[in-house]
Chain A
Amino acid sequence: MSEEIRVGVYICHCGGNISDVVDVKKVAEELSHYPNVKVSKNYMFMCSDPGQQMIIDDIKQNNINRVVVSACSPALHELTFRKALQRAGLNPHMYENVNIREQVSWVHKGRKEDATRKAIRLTKAGVEKIVRQDPLEAIRVNAERHVAVIGAGVAGMRAAVSLARRGLGVTLIEQADRVGGRLLEMDRIYPTGEKAIDVVNGLAKEVEGEKAISLLLNTQVVGIDGYVGNFTLTLQTGDEKAEVRAGAIVLATGYNHYQPQEGEFGYKESPKVVTLPEFWALLKEDKVSAKHVAFLHCVGSRQFEGLDQPQPDGKVNDYCSRLCCTAGLHAVEQLLERRPDTRVYHVYKDIRTYGRGHEDYYERMSRKGVRFFRYADGEKPEFVGHKLKVRDVLTWGEELEIPVELLVLVTGIMPRDISGIIDALKLPTGVDRFLQEVHPKLRPVELANNGVLVAGCCQGPMDVIESCASAEAAAVKASILLAKGEIELDPYVARVVPEKCDGCQKCLAECEYKGALTMTNRPEGGPLLATVNKALCVGCGACVAVCPTRAIQIAGWSLDQFDAMVDALVSEEYTHA
């Protein structure tokens, strides 16, 4: 490579997210004197069109051939800038993203000078890295035009139908002996009052109508491996095992109801205390004869550490379960239709009837004489001797005792236990235990694992409408991914310098990704050679750390690059004065 190295450095203000703390002009000025840097600029929003155009113009007019942008986390805009390089005709991997937002401005508020110094050092390290970068090429793999959808509740069925109509093959996998999932527990569903069974049957008919869907009931997923475009799922139906190959996986594994602990508001201690799903079952069979029924909201939701009993993992459910307010009011409506003379009390923190048509339930139930009592965070009602004791905020803190013949605990929801799948694919979950999307706005139905998508309540509480929307969003992402039958993967994977590898196999022992690393015979003989399957390697670098001869390294993250970055980070402060 005889071409002169010409680095362009761009410091983003990120509105004020960065520039309120970091002196961006100083960073740009400082970098303009750094070796190999030919252009150094700062701009309000580098990710905006004019910002990207600035880079493109410099590549075309100033022959910039390597680019460093100091801005937000690469999780947000690394791709944005790589695409800009591509548009300018430069290899997209000649780009380095330095994170001076999450790693500098957001964590060093009030220390402007130090933050600026840190931003300068990090950016210099970025320059050192990109100076040593090779032009990498994306890895191309063939993709199966087939999707495995796990779970045949509404979300799973919805995703399957949309995918099949788009021309993709679908295996729809359900562990129960019927489709429909949790919806079948309900009689009618809000906000339309449709029969749940009709909604399920309607979708089931659509599933049946699509020849490209093969529905497997009574089937468990017992193994998953592979990578985007080429997953292999091992399925077990009864004693029989089968394998399915899929280019993408849609997880629609749904939720469990929060199960109150024994004695929680009298649950299991008193026959008068039931959960909302148990109440649905009673309601379906018209077995609710109690004259005074109280609904206690936020059981298993909006909990507080130290105040509520944690789950086995040591965490409380501090999130809102989204559905229970309207579901509770809807249950009351159904009760009052059958038994209009029932006295109903709602004991709640906030009524969250947020969705289209939800507020109407609240309005209607208020008009029908349902009593609402509000308790404050930290002042949990108590169920003692057939009475629900509440300190009611709405009556300026009145201590009330509500005589209750039936207490319905409006329970929240938790993700269904899919630890087998989570472990096999190393899927990310949030502190709330639900599957964690890459970014709620940028990539709301995608997981960090390429080719694995989420639909419905495995990601968080959602009603039928929201579950179906998320299922269709997952379907469209799978369609885009598999449209061409070929997928491009990031080239940041391990590569081996054969001359340096002495076949010690230490790397093999460290590799956690099945099939990513194997030892092969060399055609010319000699020690075994570590060999990387580029599609399976995730570029984690565990092998790099143990290789005694520096034979195995991550493309784009070589040890030479790390050495130079560390040197830049710890070198005596270089100030151009």
Chain B
Amino acid sequence: MKCDALVIGAGIAGLQAALDLADQGKQVILVDRDPSIGGRMINLSKVFPTLDCASCITTPRMASVAHHPNIKTLTYTEVDSVTPVGPRFLAKVTKKPRYIREDLCIGCKRCEEECILYLSDEYDHGLGAKKVVSIPFTNAIPQLPVLDMDECMLCGACAKACPTDAIDFMQEPVHEEIDAGTVILATGYNITPMDAKRQYGGGKLPNVISPFMAERLLAPHGPYGGVMRPSDGKIPSSIAYVQCAGSRDASIGVPYCSRVCCMYAIKQAMLLSGSLPIADITIYYMDIRAFGKGYEQFYQNAKAMGIEFVKAKVAKITEDEEHNPIVRIERQEGTSAPEEVKHDLVVLSLGMVPAWVPDRDGIIPLEVGADSFVRTPRLTAPNLTSLPGVFAAGAATGPKDIVDTIVEASAAAMEASNYLEACAK
């Protein structure tokens, strides 16, 4: 396969970069390791500061990419290596088996209906269940199921139900090569692990949850159809956010600010107070970093709505016998003695780490910073990497919110198309 630009990662950054290249007439191949395009953003409930539903912003972009004549999308595909060849690049990719014949599948979901085995659903961050063979989520693109061969008991019910004989238990990985003129890395982020901090329960307290889980609880098509806590389904009446639970903390190797956690916590708090009007919501914080356009006003609105902001670093989280989390804090306003506060549900405002680290994960020889994000050596061309012809955008180069990510993705598309222009000369 040959293309002008290879875009790695089909989250919001990759989608935007691909569109801005394709709209200039460039031929783009967009690769993602997940079975659907859409990345992290499609998984969120609503997004700050406009409170648009995340799907409303993401799905149209996904559809534009899917229908664009200049974009070819490869989902469920791993990039094994990218090697510079002169000014161009040779990428080796592996298409993982879905155990579904893509050319035959019509997305009717009969296989999913017939399948009798349930698995924990990673799209709902373990809060919901999915079938062993299933389309990842309602608005996934492409609308193709994936069969989890590790869990499948090969009963054949799906194959019998399939009207087009698309189930293929023998499917093998397919290796392909892509010859690309330029490469854009839009490889995104992971959140810091729940068990990174032992003092916060090490991921073992059922009612201490991650911000992604909170997003799913708040999403209209979320696993419980409402906000309930995991241990017993109780509707929480007291919810706390622990800020900097995975950032500004050298002890877990993340000394930097993750840039989005203040705002997503405030946003989730606002959404929670919308769906649970009588719940008390507390945000324990060090500094509220509402720095973006309209963000400070958003923060002040949250305060006016009655969300309580307490300047305190949380030392420890334990639980009582009913799994109610107990947060040990020292307030910096009022009294100075440490105190313990019981909540029904605690959300850890976890930080951002790179989803893909070049020198750890191999693939492409790029320099990274001390924070493991891709290094961008030039202030005035912030998408350039240490390798000419390879550009990076979004959270690949450091924690970033959606607004800044989308702008950067467009900027990377500009640099990439100018690299192609220069090579053509």
Chains A and B bind each other: yes
In the complex with contacts A394-B332, A466-B404, A473-B411, A76-B56 CB distance below 8 A: yes
Residues 441-463 (chain A) with a chain B CB within 8 angstroms: 441-442, 444-445, 459-461
A510, chain B: closest CB distance, angstroms: 34
Of all chain A residues, which has the CB nearest B256? Answer: A359
Of all chain B residues, which has the CB nearest A159? Answer: B414
Contacts of A360 in B (CB 8 A): 255-256
B234 at the A interface (CB under 8 A): no
B103 at the A interface (CB under 8 A): no
Contacts of A434 in B (CB 8 A): 293
Contacts of A461 in B (CB 8 A): 293
Q: Are A322 and B414 in contact (CB under 8 A)?
A: no
Q: Are B383 and A472 in contact (CB under 8 A)?
A: yes
Q: Mark A148-167, 1 if CB is under 8 A from B, else 0.
A: 00000010001000100111
B67 at the A interface (CB under 8 A): yes
Give the interface of B toward A (CB within 8 A).
20, 23-25, 45, 47, 49-50, 52-53, 55-57, 59-60, 62-64, 66-67, 138-139, 141, 143, 219-221, 248, 255-257, 259, 287-297, 300, 311, 332-336, 369, 371, 373, 379-383, 397-399, 402-404, 406-408, 410-415, 417-418, 421-422
Q: Mark A413-455, 1 if CB is under 8 A from B, else 0.
A: 0000000000000000010101000011110110000000000
Binds B, one of A46-54, A226-234, A262-270, A524-532: A46-54
Q: Are B259 and A476 in contact (CB under 8 A)?
A: no
Of all chain B residues, which has the CB nearest A324? Answer: B291
Q: Mark A485-527, 1 if CB is under 8 A from B, else 0.
A: 0000000000000000000000000000000000000000000
Give A318 to B301 CA distance when docked, in angstroms: 12
A15 at the B interface (CB under 8 A): yes
Q: List 12 extra interface pairs beyond A15-B220, A15-B221, A393-B332, CB under 8 A.
A: A48-B138, A49-B141, A51-B59, A83-B64, A351-B287, A356-B399, A440-B49, A466-B382, A471-B411, A475-B414, A480-B20, A483-B24
Give A556 to B219 CA distance when docked, in angstroms: 37
B53 interface neighbour in A15, A466, A468, Cβ under 8 Å: A15
25 contacts between A and B (CB under 8 A): A15-B220, A17-B220, A47-B56, A48-B62, A50-B138, A50-B139, A77-B56, A192-B379, A302-B296, A319-B294, A320-B295, A350-B287, A352-B290, A353-B257, A354-B289, A356-B397, A396-B335, A396-B336, A430-B294, A440-B50, A460-B292, A465-B382, A466-B382, A473-B407, A479-B417
A16 interface neighbour in B24, B220, B287, B335, Cβ under 8 Å: B220
Q: Are A352 and B413 in contact (CB under 8 A)?
A: no
Give A165 to B423 CA distance when docked, in angstroms: 12
A399 at the B interface (CB under 8 A): no
Contacts of A19 in B (CB 8 A): 220
In the complex with contacts A45-B55, A351-B287, A166-B414 CB distance below 8 A: yes
Contacts of A167 in B (CB 8 A): 421
Give A463 to B81 CA distance when docked, in angstroms: 34
In the complex with contacts A45-B138, A353-B257, A440-B403, A468-B381 CB distance below 8 A: yes
Q: Are B257 and A358 in contact (CB under 8 A)?
A: yes
Q: Are B373 and A356 in contact (CB under 8 A)?
A: yes
Q: Are A464 and B380 in contact (CB under 8 A)?
A: yes
Q: Are B380 and A441 in contact (CB under 8 A)?
A: no
Q: Are B20 and A441 in contact (CB under 8 A)?
A: no
Of all chain B residues, which has the CB nearest A348? Answer: B287
Of all chain A residues, which has the CB nearest B50? Answer: A440
Of all chain A residues, which has the CB nearest B422? Answer: A165
Q: Mark A8-43, 1 if CB is under 8 A from B, else 0.
A: 000001111101100000000000000000000000
Residues 354-402 (chain A) with a chain B CB within 8 angstroms: 354-360, 363, 374, 376, 393-394, 396-397
Give A20 to B174 CA distance when docked, in angstroms: 45
Contacts of B290 in A (CB 8 A): 320, 352
Q: Count chain B CB atoms within 10 A of each CB in A13, A165, A469, A483 and give the residue with the most.
A: A469
Of all chain A residues, which has the CB nearest B333? Answer: A393
A132, chain B: closest CB distance, angstroms: 28
Contacts of A154 in B (CB 8 A): 380
Of all chain A residues, which has the CB nearest B48? Answer: A440
Q: Are B381 and A45 in contact (CB under 8 A)?
A: no
Of all chain A residues, which has the CB nearest B412? Answer: A472
A44 at the B interface (CB under 8 A): yes
A442 interface neighbour in B57, B143, B414, Cβ under 8 Å: B57
Contacts of A472 in B (CB 8 A): 381, 383, 410-412, 414-415
Give A185 to B292 CA distance when docked, in angstroms: 24
Contacts of A356 in B (CB 8 A): 256, 369, 371, 373, 397-399
Residues 51-99 (chain A) with a chain B CB within 8 angstroms: 51-52, 72, 76-77, 80, 83, 87
A243 at the B interface (CB under 8 A): no
Contacts of B407 in A (CB 8 A): 444-445, 466, 469-470, 473
Q: Count chain A CB atoms within 10 A of each CB in B296, B300, B399, B402 and give the residue with the most.
A: B296
The 4 closest A-B pairs by CB, nearest first: A16-B220, A472-B411, A473-B410, A15-B220
A330 at the B interface (CB under 8 A): no
Give A77 to B221 CA distance when docked, in angstroms: 21
B281, chain A: closest CB distance, angstroms: 19
Q: Are B403 and A444 in contact (CB under 8 A)?
A: yes
Contacts of A439 in B (CB 8 A): 50
A521, chain B: closest CB distance, angstroms: 43
Contacts of B403 in A (CB 8 A): 440-441, 444
A525, chain B: closest CB distance, angstroms: 49
Contacts of B53 in A (CB 8 A): 14-15, 17
Q: Count chain A CB atoms within 10 A of each CB in B53, B295, B412 and give the residue with the most.
A: B53
Give A432 to B52 CA distance when docked, in angstroms: 21
In the complex with contacts A167-B421, A358-B257, A464-B220 CB distance below 8 A: no
Of all chain A residues, which has the CB nearest B141? Answer: A49
In the complex with contacts A47-B60, A318-B300, A445-B410 CB distance below 8 A: yes
Q: Mark A317-345, 1 if CB is under 8 A from B, else 0.
A: 01110100000000000000000000000
A235 at the B interface (CB under 8 A): no
Contacts of A475 in B (CB 8 A): 414
A350 interface neighbour in B56, B289, B415, Cβ under 8 Å: B289
